[in-house]
Amino acid sequence: MVDDSPRPADESPTREQLEAWDRELVWHAFTQMTEHQPFIIQRAEGCTLYDLEGRAYLDGVSSLWCNVHGHRHPTIDAAIRAQLDQVAHVTSLGMAHPTTIKLARRLVDLAPAGLGHVFFSDSGATAVEVALKMAFQFWQQCEQPQPKKTKYLAFENAYHGDTLGSVSVGGVPRFHEMFRPLLFEVLRLPSPTMYRLPTNVTRENACEYFLNLVAQVLEHQHAEIAAVIVEPLMQCAAGMILHPPGFLRGLRELTRQHDVLLIADEVAVGMGRTGRMFACQQEDVQPDLLCLAKGITGGYLPLAATLATDRIWQAFLGTYSSSRTFFHGHTYGGNPLGAAAALATLDVFEQEQTLANMPAKIARLQEYLARIALHPNVGDVRQLGLIAGIELVRDRVTQEPFPWGERRGQRVCNHALTRGVWLRPLGNVVVMMPPLNIKLEELDRICLAVEEGIEVATR
């Protein structure tokens, strides 16, 4: 039972009380609470987390893929404190703040060409929700309206967030099947992967194969498709599914050819994770709508942005009575504290030459993955910049997976924890996504802990 007895105002709860409250009061995301074991982090510094007892753990997954420059970075800390001395929040409905405006300017300058307008919200799911609604409304009121364009084309195993709109275009059955009666219909194609390929499809012709599937759907149904939504280059929550090289560029060409909008969900892969500021830049792609969140504030505060082209922006302009307004908003959209953290995060990219320093780290990770790939229970290793997924299998020849219930990926992470490394798996896929400022020796520790963990978990 939860200890709810009154305590003196100056008395802090004990570790035991905190753990009991965490088990019985806090409802954790994606967690079976009957099995939950409290793991409480009290503070952090750089790439290291510290629990209530002062034990240290390297943050191997960037606190769910959002920390960029490490915890307690002095530049970001100072920016938030300075903003607090001005104002913590003003609404974006009918007013603005200089910090938020300056962030919009910076994002437009950095983003792929043509994305000249920024709509702020507060999470990755809301950034996607905004893009979906913008795409729908665009076709209803653009210069040459096409009201039949009401559907979306998405990919199997996609993850775009947990609001009903983002779940509708998502495709992870384990997460989404329960809510199917609440969702709208989506056209869906297989994930463009290079592992567990269909018969007669090889890694060499996989890109052509998957683009042909897209081309067939667009050829026959483009008149009713508002947009294609994709996680550029890699579907992260799906198990780090790496797309064939050239797929994103080909997708952009097909959507342009058939006058269908392209929504790029870079919530996970944006903000430098791939080695470029935005994953779309790896294949020189300019989407119609670009969704950002997670690392946009360096992992400090909730903030998200949906960037749109001028073509989309123009379709929403008109008189008040025309009702062409985008009737959508979030209380904390464009919050000045979040915007201050985001501006400071972008400053640190420049000051510390973060992207220029990544190739050595990417190469070091690649070296470890090449060795790990030889393990008899490793079916596939997938890397994109400082993002990596290692898929464990019962049989690497047949690609037979371990049963989900055996939690092999979690066993690897449990072992890593004993080595002072915090990781979180995706089923049988062990995920590594450290902060971009990770030192080589810290990266070594993470990789060695994973290597040991795979040995332990597959015995």
Judge whether 330 is annotated as a binding position. yes
Cβ distance 379 to 396 under 8 Å? yes
Strand residues in 88-185 grouped as ranges (E)? 115-121, 151-155
Judge whether 331 is annotated as a binding position. yes
Residue tagged 């709508």 (tokens) = 289
Alpha helices in 205-274 (DSSP H): 206-221, 247-257
Judge whether 243 is annotated as a binding position. no
> In whole angstroms, what separates CA 120 from the centre of its chain?
17
Q: How far apart are CA 376 and CA 388, in angstroms?
A: 18
Judge whether 294 is annotated as a binding position. yes
Judge whether 125 is annotated as a binding position. yes
- What are the b/e assignments for 276-293, b being 16+ CB within 10 Å? bbbbbbbbebbbbbbbbb
Please give the DSSP secondary-structure letter assigned to residue 33: T
Residue 187, both tokens: 């056209």
3-class secondary structure, 98? helix
Judge whether 270 is annotated as a binding position. no
For residue 159, count other CB atoms closer than 10 A to its CB.
26
Judge whether 329 is annotated as a binding position. yes
Q: How far apart are CA 21 and CA 32, in angstroms?
A: 16
Residue positions forming the annotated binding site: 124-125, 159, 265, 294, 329-331, 424
Residue positions forming the annotated binding site for pyridoxal 5'-phosphate: 124-125, 265, 330-331
Residue positions forming the annotated binding site for substrate: 159, 294, 329, 424
